[in-house]
Amino acid sequence: MTNVSETPTLIPHSDAAVDESGRVRTYEVRTFGCQMNVHDSERLAGAMEAAGYVKFDLAAEAEANPDLKRSASSAQPDVVVINTCAVRENADNKLYGNLGHLARVKEKHEGLQIAVGGCLAQKDQALLLKKAPWVDVVFGTHNMGSLPRLLERSRHNHTAELEILESLETFPSTLPTKRDSTYSGWVSISVGCNNTCTFCIVPSLRGKERDRRPGEVLNEVKALVDQGAIEVTLLGQNVNTYGVEFGDKGAFAKLLRACGQIEGLERVRFTSPHPAAFTDDVIEAMADTPNVMPQLHMPLQSGSDRVLKAMRRSYRSEKFLNILEKVRVAMPHAAISTDIIVGFPGETEEDFEETLRVVREARFATAFTFQYSKRPGTPAAEMEGQLPKAVVQERYERLLALQNDIAWQENKAQIGREVHVLVANGEGRKDSATERMSGRAEDSRLVHFEVTPGSEIPRPGDIVTVTITEAAPFHLLADDPSGAPIKVRRTIAGDAWDREQAESCGVPSTGGAKNLGSTSIPLVGLGMPTIRVATTPIYDPEDGQR
C-alpha cells in the first residue's frame, strides 16, 4: 500500500517574491513535452502564486511601464521556470536552445532567475548545471513543491540549487494549483508506471505506479464541480491498472461508475490506458455511465506482433483489434485515437505493412504518429537494427497519408449528425477570422460552429447543439445554411467563466454556480486540478515528431 502523503501541501510566502524596491516579482512557466508535464506546470504555477509571485503578463507590464510599449520584446519575467520532457529526441535540443537564449537575456535582466524541472532535470541532474551553469535551480519530478524554497535559497546564497528526490513523497494533487480553465480539469488518479516498454524512459524518471485512494480522487472531482467545472479527465500513465496497489483490480471501472453519481459532472474522460490491461468491466462501465464520453485513446505503437514483443508491449494486434470491436459494439459512435511509433529498431518492411493493416482495420479517428528516436537509458537505444532516417521518414509519410485519409472518411460520416459541443476558449486558432466559435463534441472531435445572427452568444463552458455540415481530416464544421439561431444551454461552467471575467476586470461577482452562491473561483486552489482539457493523448502535439 502506498505511503505517499495526501495531506495538502502548504507553500509559505517567500521573501524572494518581492524585490528590494518592494515590487512583487513575476514568473513564467514554460512547458515542454507531455500532458502530464502540462498538468504538473499548473501545480508549479500554483506553488509560485502561493509563495507570493504573480504571473508575468506582457500587456500589464507594458501598461505599468510606458517605455516597454515602444519595445515590448525587452520585457521579461523575473523568474522563468522550464518544465521539461525526456521522452522525445528533440527535448534536449529544445531545452538547451531555450537556456542559451535565456543566458543572453540574463546578462541584461538583473535578478533574473532560471529554474529547470521535470523529466529531463530528473535524468540529467548535475549535468544540466554543468552544461548551463547560469541556471539557478534544478529540481525533479518528485519535489515540485520545493520550487519557491529553492528559488529563495538560490537568491539568498547567490549559488545554484540542485534538489532531486529519487521517490515521490507527496502526491502532486496536494499542491496549490493555478487554474487555466473554469470548465474542465485534470484529476490525477496515479503517478508513475510499472510497465517496462523498451522505448520509454518514463518509469525511471517518474518511478513505480502509486495509486491514490478512490475517496481522495472523488473528493477532488467533486471540488472541481463545486467550482463550476463540468468536464474532468482522469489522468495516469496507465489508468486501467489503477487499484492494483491497494488490491482491487476492478477499481478503475468502479471509479468511472462513481463519477457517474456526481451531480453536475457532465463529461468524464480518461487517458491513457494500456491494451494489455484493458478489461471488459471498463468497457461496460463506459457504456453504462452516461457522463463517461464515447471516446477512447488506445495506444497501438505497432501493428507487428514481432515488433510489439521487442517493445515489451504485452499484447498482440489481434487482442488490440478485439478490444476496439468490443468498444464499438458497446458504444457505436465512439471515436478511438491511438499512438504509433514508426521505425522501431529492427522494423522491416513486412512489420511496417502489418502496422498499415491494423490501421486500416482499426479506422482511428485520430492517430498520433511518431518517428522512433533513440533515448539514452532505454533498452531500445542499444538494440541492433537502428534504421536510417530516410527509411523512417518514408514510412512515416506513408502512414500519415493513410491515416489522414481514414480520419477524413470517418469525419465525413459525421455530416448530418446533431452533436453537443462544449464551448472552449482558444480551441479554434482562426475563429476570429472565420467568425466562428469552437469546442469539443462528446466524442472529443473538434467542432467549429457558426454563431448565426440573432443567436445567444455562448460562453466557454456552455453547451451548444449543432448539426455537422462539413468535414476535414482534423475538424468538423457546423454552419447552418438556414441561418436559424443555434441552441445554447447555459451551464454552471459558463457562469464560472462570467465570474472569472468579471474579477479580472475588477467587477464584483454577482452570479453563482450551483453550491457556490456568490462565491468566486479562487485564482489558486489547494490541490485542485486546473488545466483546460484538450482530450489529447499524453504527448506534445507540437513536438515535430508526428
Average pLDDT per 10 consecutive residues for the chain, totaling 546 residues = 62 90 93 76 88 81 50 72 78 85 91 91 89 94 88 93 77 63 89 90 81 93 94 92 92 98 97 94 98 97 98 97 98 97 98 98 96 89 96 98 97 98 87 87 97 94 97 95 94 93 61 34 38 37 40
The values of phi and psi at residue 445, to 5°, are -70, 140
| Cis omega (within 30 of 0) for bond into 272 | yes
d(CA 164, CA 146): 10
Give residues with Cβ within 8 angstroms of 453, minimum separation 6: 483
Residue 79 contacts residue 27 (beta carbons within 8 Å): yes
The values of phi and psi at residue 90, to 5°, are -80, 0
Q: Tell whether the torsion through CA atoms of 533, 537, 540 and 542 is positive or negative.
A: negative
The values of phi and psi at residue 24, to 5°, are -70, 130
Residue 440 contacts residue 535 (beta carbons within 8 Å): yes
Residue 44 contacts residue 83 (beta carbons within 8 Å): yes
Residue 29's pLDDT is 93
- H or E element: which one contains 336? strand 335-342
* CA 108 to centroid of chain Cα atoms: 34
d(CA 58, CA 172): 29
Query: Which pTM value belongs to this model?
Result: 0.80
Residue 124 contacts residue 239 (beta carbons within 8 Å): no
For residue 264, give the nearest of 73, 461, 455 by alpha carbon: 461
Side chain identity, residue 115: A
Residue 179's pLDDT is 63
Provide the grid cell at 212: 491514490
Give residues with Cβ within 8 angstroms of 281, minimum separation 6: 250, 253
d(CA 241, CA 270): 13
Residue 119's pLDDT is 84
Count the neighbouring beta carbons within 10 Å of the beta carbon of residue 397.
12
d(CA 524, CA 465): 32
Angle at the Cα of 172 from the Cα atoms of 168 and 177, rounded to 5 degrees: 160
Q: Kindly give the pairing relationship between strand 231-235 and strand 267-271.
A: parallel
Buried b vs exposed e over 519-528: b needs ≥16 C-beta within 10 Å?
Answer: ebbebbbbbb
Residue 164 contacts residue 143 (beta carbons within 8 Å): yes
Give residues with Cβ within 8 angstroms of 258, minimum separation 6: 214, 218
Tell me the CA end-to-end span of the chain in Å, nearest whole number.
38
Beta bridge partners of 409: none
d(CA 422, CA 293): 12
For residue 414, give the nearest of 458, 389, 384, 444 by alpha carbon: 444
Residue 537's pLDDT is 39
Residue 23's pLDDT is 92
For residue 176, give the nearest of 148, 153, 151, 150 by alpha carbon: 148
What DSSP letter does each residue of 51-111 carry, written as one string? Answer: TT-EE--HHHHHHH-HHHHH-GGG---SEEEEEE--SSTHHHHHHHHHHHHHHHHHHHSTT
DSSP label at 455? P
